[in-house]
Structure 1
Amino acid sequence: MNAIDKNLAILNRRRFLSISLTAAGGLMIGGIIPQATQALVIDRQPWDENKAGEEINAWIMVEPDDTVIIRVAQSEMGEGIFTSLPMIVAEELGCDWAEVKAEYASASRNLRENNVYKRMGTGGSGAVRRSREFLQAAGANARVRLVQAAAARWNVSPESCSVDNGKVMHQASGRNLRYGELAAEAAKVTLAGDPAIKTPDQFTLIGKPVARLDTPPKLVGAAKFGIDIRLPDMVYAAAATCPVFGGTVKSYDESAIKGRRGVIAVVPIEGGVAVVADRFWRAKEALANLPIVWDEGPAASTTSKQFDADYIAALDGPAVTAKKEGDVDAGLSAGKRVDALYQAPHLAHAPMEPLNCTAHVTEGKVEIWMGTQNPDMALQLAAKAAGVPPSEVEIHNCFLGGGFGRRAVNDELVQAVTISKVVGKPVKLVWTREDDMRHDRYRPQAAIRFQAALGTDGLPTAMHMRTAVGSIQRSLGLGKVENGVEPSAVEGLANMPYRSPATQVDCILKNTHVPVMFWRSVGSSQNAFALEGFIDELAQAAGMDGYRYRRKLLEGKPDFLAVLDTLAKKSDWDKPLPKGAGRGIAIHESFGTIVGEVVELTVSPKGEVKVDRVVAAVDCGHVVNPLTAVMQIESAVVYGLSAALFGEITIDKGAVVQGNFDDYEVARLADTPKIETHLVLSGGTKWGGIGEPGTPPIAPAVCNAIFNATGKRIRALPIKNVDLSSGA
C-alpha cells in the first residue's frame, strides 16, 4: 500500500469531521464528546448472550454499573425513535434516564424467537402508535421482576416496595437496591401474568421534551450509517441497470476495462451489470467505460407528456366506486357548479444518503450491513438472494440517512448479495446519486377530477371525486387489488372530514412501466393537495375565506375545529398583508393525526415565490417527546415544500431525466421559512403518528396562499412550472 492509499484508509468520515472542525481553531467537538456518544447509542449486533450485563427480557438489559440498555426494533432515519421508543420503556421501568443507552434489536433473534420484537418494519408513522402498548408492557415486566427480586432478598412483600430512579425502595426499613445489583436475580424471576401498564395521567417521562440520544454521535460523526461500513478485505461495487425500467442487458464488452487498475471482476446482476474493484471510484469509473448494449423494450418510446394525457383520459373511462353516500347526480344539479382538475407528478424519495449495502456471503452464511426500514424483510430477501435458509442471515441495521419509504424495499441488498456470492468477499455496493434518482420507486403520478355544487348557503349539495393514480401494490407485486380500490389511492378522499349531503369517490388504478412505492405520507400527499385546493375554490365560489369556510364544513368535529382555531389565532389570519403577499390554509388527517398549516408568502412581480412563514397546529392525541414531534413537523414541512415548489420526475424515451440535485431541486436554507408548531392534543385514546402527517397540508397551503396573493390558481405541481409574473 502506498502513502496515498494509507492516508485514504485513515481519513474516514468520522476522522475527517474531527480534524476539520478543529483545523481552523473552531469547534473542537471531535475532541470533546466521543466518550459521551458511546454512552448514548451503541452498536452491539448480533445479540450475544455472553455480553456484560443481565438481560431481564428481550428489550432490556441492565449492566452492573446500572446502565440500562433498551433495544429498539424500529429504524432510526431522523424521526427520533431511538429516543421516543426507549422513553416508553423507561416510563414503565422507572430507571434513571441518564443511564439509558439504545441499541438496535436483532432481526435474526426476532426470527429465532418467534417474533419476539413484534414489529420491526418502520413506516406509516407507526413506530409509537403501533408499538407503545407492548413497549410499555416490556418495561412493566422488567420493573415488576426487579421488585420481586428485591423483595425476595429482603424477605418482604413486593407490595411494600416501590421503584424510583433506578432503585427498588423499601420505605418501611429505608433500604434500597440499585437495578444493577438486582438484574441477575430479576432475570430468573417468572411472573404469573402481565403487569398492568400506566395510563397517560400517570406518566412522568412520556410527554416531556427530552434531548435525542442520537444527536451527539451524529454531531461528531460517530454514528454508524450504512455508507460508513468498512470491513477487512472488503471490495467495492458499482452497478448499472437499464435506463428504461424493465429493460435488460443485451451484451457488454468486458475486455474494454480489462487491466484497469484495481478492477477485480465484472458481475451480471438482474437487469444489469456490476463492476467490482478495490476502491469505489475505480469501480465507478470502470463501469462508466464498460460498453453495455441495452434492450430497452417497448417502454423506450414513452414520455411524461404522454402520461399526463393518458391519466386525464383515464378519468373518462371505467372506474370502481370507493365511496358513495346520497344522491350525487341530484345534488350536482341542485346548485352552482364548481369543477376542477388537479394533477400531481411522479416524485423521487431523494434521501441524502444514497442507497448502499455491504454484504458478505460465505458458505451457508450471509451478513448484511445497511440502513433498512424493514430488517426482518431484508433478512428474508438476503436469504432468497443467497440461496440459504433465513436462519443463516444476520442483518446489522445501521442509521439511515433518510428513508421516506424508499428503504422499505431494498433493491440494493439483492445486488450486493449477488455480487458477494460471486467474488467471495465482503462487497460494499454504493449507488451514485444518479443511480438513486433514476432507479427509485417513485411517488405515483395522479390526476384527480372534482365536481361539486353549492346551495344558496354556499355549502356543497354534492361532491364527486374521481382519481386516476398508479397502484403501489401492483407495482410492488403485492397483489392485483382485486376490487380495484387501493386504500392509499383514495386516502384523504374517501374519508374526507368535510360534510356533504351526497359524496362519491371513484378510483382508477393506472400503472405505467415506472415503478411506484410509498412516499412520505403516501396517497395523502397528492390527495390533500387536490382536495384542499378544491375546498379553497369552493370557498371562493361561496364568497368566504378558507378558514371560515372550512369551519362551517367541519361543524360537529371538535378536534378539527380546535386545530383550525389554533391556526387562525397563531397565524394572525385576519391581519392585513401588503400587496404581493398572501396567506393560505389547509388541514388534513393522516395516520391518525390532524395537521393544519397556514402559509404566509410573497410573490415578486417576476413571479418568484418566497415562503416566509409556516404555522402548524397538530393533534396526535398524545405525544411521547414534544421535542422530536416538533422536529418531525418541521422536517415534513420542508420535505413537502421541496416537492411543492420544485419536485417532479419526468420521463423521456422511457427513462428518468433527472439525475442529481441540480435538476431535481430541494428546498435550501434560503428557501426554508420560519416554522412555528403548536401541539393541540385532544388526549383520550388517540395516539396518532407524527412522521408523515405534516407533509400533506403544505403544498395546498402554499398554492392557496399564492392564489390569495396573485389571484392565480395552481392545479398542477410543481409550482416552478407556473408563470406567476405580474404580466402573465
Structure 2
Amino acid sequence: MSASAKPLKPPRNGSSKRRRTMPVTNTNTNNLTLISRRNFLRASVTAAGGLLLALYLDSPSAAQEKGQPPSKPNAYPPDAFIEIRPDGKIVIQVNRLEFGQGVQTALPMILADEMDADWTQVVAELAPAADVYKDPLFGMQMVGGSGSIAHSFQQYRELGARARALLVAAAAARWRITPEQCRTEQSVIYGPSGQSARYAELAGEAARGTVPASVRLKNPSDFRLVGKRVKRLDSGPKCDGSLKFGLDLSLTNMKVAVVAHPPVFGAKVKSFDDKEARAVEGVRDVFEIPVARGGTGVAIVADKFWPAKQGRERLKIEWDSAGVERADSSQLSMKYRELARTTGNVAVARGDAQAVERIAASRRLVAEYEFPYLAHAAMEPLNTMVRFDGDRAEVWVGSQFQTGDQAAIAEVLRLKPEQVTFHTEMAGGGFGRRATPDSHVQRETAEIARRMRAVPVKLVWTREDDVRGGYYRPMHLHRVEVGIGVDGLPAAWRHVIVGQSIIADTPFAMMMKDNIDPTTVEGVNDTHYDIPNFHVSAHHPKVNVPVLWWRSVGHTHTAFVME
C-alpha cells in the first residue's frame, strides 16, 4: 500500500523524545503463581489489509512434573489484541469485563500510549473467552481483586510498543532509512526528510514484519495518556443510551426465560401445575430444571419477558424441602454470639492471648458487632443468553469469570469449552455478584437452551429473584475485647469473628490456611496498628445460605470494627 500522496505536516514540537530500551520480560511473578509462561507475539494481515497483533501466553499444566516435556502450546486466535483498520481506527481488545470500573478505557490507554496512537481513533471491545485473554497472574480470564491494571499494565505496554516497532520498521523499509530515524505521534510516522505515513497505510507491510525480541518502552515522564485526564470511551454511549448491556441484547427468534426457584435453598419440585401458565399468550414451554445447591426449579420460556413473568406467577408448585436446612436470621444470631465467646481457628497469635484478662476491668472494653446478609443489587439484573446448536453453542453474558462460566456451560451441554463461543457483554455493575464460582445462572441458562435447541434463550433473574436468591455478603458477628494500657493505647486485643467462608468448597479453597478463610479476617489480621498482645481467631459455621464476595470483601465489615 502506497503512502499518502500529500505528506502530512509534522507536529510543531519537533523532534521525538528518546525512549529507553527494555528487553521483553515475563509479566508473571514466580513467587505469586505456580504457572510459568512464555510470552511471544505474532502479527498477521486481515482480509481488509489491516494489522492484527496477538500476544501468546503458553501455560503448561500446573500438574506437570519437573523434568517432563512441556505441554503442547494452545492455538490462539491471531487477532487477539490489536486491529488497525484501513480507515485508521485502532481496535483494542480488553481482556476483562467492563461493569463501571473503567477498565475498558484504562487498558486501551496503556496500550495506545506506548503505541503513540491517536486516542480519538481508538475503539475498545470486550474480548471473548479465550486462553489468550487469561489474567497473566491468575491464569484465568476474570476480573477481581482490583488486579486488572496491576496484572496487565506491563502486558498492554509491551503490546503497544511491539505494534509501534512493527509499524516503524515498515516505514523505515519503505523510505530506506533506519528505524531510529523515525518518530511517531498520533498514529503517524515521520521520517527525517519530511516523509509521513499513517499507521493504517503501513498496517499491511507491518504485518509481514518480524516482531522484535526487545521493545522500547517509554519513560513514564513521556506518557501522553497514562496519568492524564482522558475522556472515558464508554461515557458518551452511556449518556445517550446507545450503549447496549447484556440485558438489552435481542437476537432473531430469541426467547426469554425466567425460573421459579425453591423458597428454601436446595429444595426440590415435588409437583407443579402449569395449566394456567401455559394459557398466557406468548408462553412457549414450561419444564423442570436443576438449580443451585442440589435443588430444582421450574423454567418458563416465552416470546418476551412479560409473558414469562406472568406465566411464572400463575404456576402452582408444591415444594419438597425435606432434609433441607431452613436458615433463620434470629437463630443464627444467637448461635453466632455463642461461638464468638469461644476461640476459633487462630489467624494471629502475637504476645500473650490472656493478657487482656489481667488488665483491670475499668480499662477493658468489650464490644460485639453484627452484620447482616447483604445482597449486591447491581443496577442491571443478572442475565445470560445461550444458543445451543447440538455440536456448538454461543453465549452472551456480562461475566466476571469468563473461563469458569464458559466451562460450566460446556459441561451442561456436554461440549468442550472450545465449542462454546463466549461473548463478553457490557454489565451494569456487579460488586462481585457476577463472579460466582458455581456459575449457577449460566448453568440454568444452559439447561434451558439444551431443551430449546437452535433457539437463542435469554434467562433473566429479576431484581426480586436476585434479592431472594442468595449469594449474599455473609452475615458476620465480631466480638472484640480490648485492654487499655497505662499510656492510653491498646495493650491487649482479643478478636473473634464468626461468619461463613466464601471460598470453602469452591475452586478457591486452596487459599484457605489452617481452616481460615483469609477473606473473613482481612483488615483485622493484617492491621497496621501496633498492638503487643494481639489475638485473632475465626469460626466458619456451615449454613444453608449461598454466600459470595461483596465489593472490598472482608473490609466491608472488618474496617468498621477496627476503627
Band of TM-score, shorter chain = 0.7 to 0.9
2:448 corresponds to which residue? 419
The answer to whether the aligner puts 1:457 opposite 2:484 as a matched pair is no
Distance in 2 (alpha carbons) for counterparts of 1:125 and 1:449: 29
Tell me if structure 2 keeps the 8 A contact 1:83–1:214: yes
Residues 56 and 62 in structure 1, CA contact (< 8 A), matched pair in contact too: no
- Return the alpha-carbon distance in structure 2 between the equivalents of residues 81 and 51 of structure 1: 28
Question: What SS does the corresponding residue of 1:474 show, helix, strand or coil?
Answer: coil
- Aligned partner of 1:60 in structure 2 is 82
1:262-314 Cα deviation digits (max 9, x unpaired): 22111211121101122221121112111111112445543111111111111
Pairing 1:175–2:195 present? yes
The alpha carbon displacement at 1:318 in A equals 4.7
Q: For 1:195, what is the secondary structure of its paired residue?
A: strand
Is the aligned partner of 1:214 residue 2:242? Answer: no
SS of match in other structure, 1:507: strand
In structure 2, what is the Cα distance between the partners aligned to 1:320 and 1:219?
50
Paired position in structure 2 for 1:326: 351
Which segment is superposed worse, 357-366 or 451-460? 451-460
1:496 is matched with which residue: 527, 542, 547? 527
Amino acid at match of 1:205: L
CA contact (8 A) 1:476 1:516 kept: no
The 8 Å contact of residues 226 and 371 in structure 1, kept in 2 or not, is answered as yes
Unaligned runs of 5+ in 1: 1-46, 533-728
Pick the structure with more helix per residue. Answer: 1
Q: 1:51 to 1:384 in 2, by over 3 A?
A: farther
Closer, same or farther in 2 for the Cα pair 1:200/1:322, shift >3 Å? Answer: farther
Inter-partner Cα distance in structure 1 for 2:137 and 2:333: 47
Q: Counterparts of 1:144 and 1:387 in 2: how far apart (Å)?
A: 44
For residue 78 of structure 1, the aligned residue among 83, 100, 103 is 100
Give the 5 Å matches for 1:189-338: 189-270=209-290, 271-299=296-324, 301-330=326-355, 333-334=358-359, 336-338=363-365
Distance 1:272 1:48 in 2: 49
Decide whether the 8 Å contact of 1:468 with 1:508 is kept in 2.
yes
CA positional deviation for 1:158: 1.6
What CA distance in whole angstroms lies between the structure 1 residues aligned with 2:479 and 2:48? 60
Say if 2:379 and 2:428, in contact at 8 Å, map to a contact too: yes
**Counterpart residue type for residue 280 of structure 1:** F
2:504 and 2:517 in contact (8 A); partners too: no
Q: Does 1:150 align with 2:187?
A: no
Give 1:440's aligned residue: 470
CA distance in 2, matches of 1:334, 1:304: 35
Contact map agreement 2:49 2:204 (CA 8 A) in 1: no
Q: 1:447 to 1:194 in 2, by over 3 A?
A: farther
**Alpha carbons 1:453, 1:462 under 8 Å: kept:** yes
Q: 2:172 and 2:46 mapped to 1: Cα distance?
A: 27
Structure 2 counterpart of 1:697: none
Q: TM-score, normalised by structure 2?
A: 0.81
The alpha-carbon deviation at position 399 of structure 1 amounts to 0.8
Question: Does residue 1:524 correspond to 2:555, yes or no?
Answer: yes
| Count of residue correspondences | 484
Contact 2:45 2:51 in 1 (8 A): no
- Which amino acid counterpart does residue 218 of structure 2 have in structure 1? K
Secondary structure, aligned partner of 1:407: coil
Pair 1:369-2:390 in alignment: no
Give the deviation of 1:188 after TM superposition.
Answer: 2.1
Distance 1:116 1:222, change over 3 A: farther
What is the rounded CA distance, in whole Å, between the counterparts of 1:525 and 1:102 in structure 2?
Answer: 32
Label 1:151 to 1:363 Cα distance change in 2 as closer, same or farther (>3 A): same
**5+ unaligned residues in a row in structure 2: which ranges?**
1-43, 55-79, 291-295
Write the mapping of 1:95-106 to structure 2, written as runs, cut at 5 A. Answer: 95-106=117-128
| Contact 1:353 1:400 (C-alpha < 8 Å) held by counterparts | yes
Contact in 1 for aligned 2:127/2:423 (Cα 8 Å): no
Structure 2: how far apart are the matches of 1:96 and 1:252? 60
**1:132 corresponding residue in structure 2:** 153
Q: Which residue of 2 aligns with 1:515?
A: 546
In 1: Cα distance, 2:312 partner to 2:392 partner: 29
Separation in 1, partners of 2:164, 2:139: 20
Contact 2:283/2:307 (<8 A) preserved = yes
CA deviation map 1:564-620 (0-9, x unaligned): xxxxxxxxxxxxxxxxxxxxxxxxxxxxxxxxxxxxxxxxxxxxxxxxxxxxxxxxx
Partner of 1:582: none
* Cα distance in 2 between the residues matched to 1:302 and 1:127: 37
Conserved 8 A contact 1:110-1:116: no
Tell me, in whole angstroms, the C-alpha distance in 2 between the residues paired with 1:51 and 1:454.
73
In angstroms, what is the RMSD of aligned CA positions? Answer: 2.4
Distance 1:445 1:200 in 2: 44
- Residue 405 (structure 1) aligned to one of 432, 446, 450: 432
8 A contact 1:73–1:117 mirrored in 2: no
Separation in 1, partners of 2:106, 2:136: 21
Identity between Structure 1 and Structure 2 (%): 37
Alpha-carbon contact 1:122-1:374 (below 8 Å) kept: yes
Secondary structure, counterpart of 1:269 in structure 2:
strand
Change (3 A) 1:109 1:524: closer
**What is the CA–CA distance in structure 2 between the aligned matches of 1:415 and 1:228, rounded to whole Å?**
19
Pick the aligned partner of 1:122 from 138, 143, 160.
143
SS state at 1:380 partner? helix
How far apart are the structure 1 equivalents of 2:46 and 2:409? 25
Equivalent position amino acid for 2:168 in 1: V
CA contact (8 A) 2:493 2:531 kept: yes
State whether residues 257 and 457 of structure 2, in contact with CA within 8 Å, keep that contact through their aligned partners in structure 1. Answer: yes
1:307-362 CA-partner distances (Å, limit 9, x unpaired): 11111111133511111222242365246222211111110000111111111101
Once the 2 structures are TM-superposed, how far is the Cα of residue 160 of structure 1 from its aligned partner? 2.1
Change (3 A) 1:444 1:196: farther
Matched, 1:347 2:374: yes
SS of the residue corresponding to residue 317 of structure 1 reads coil
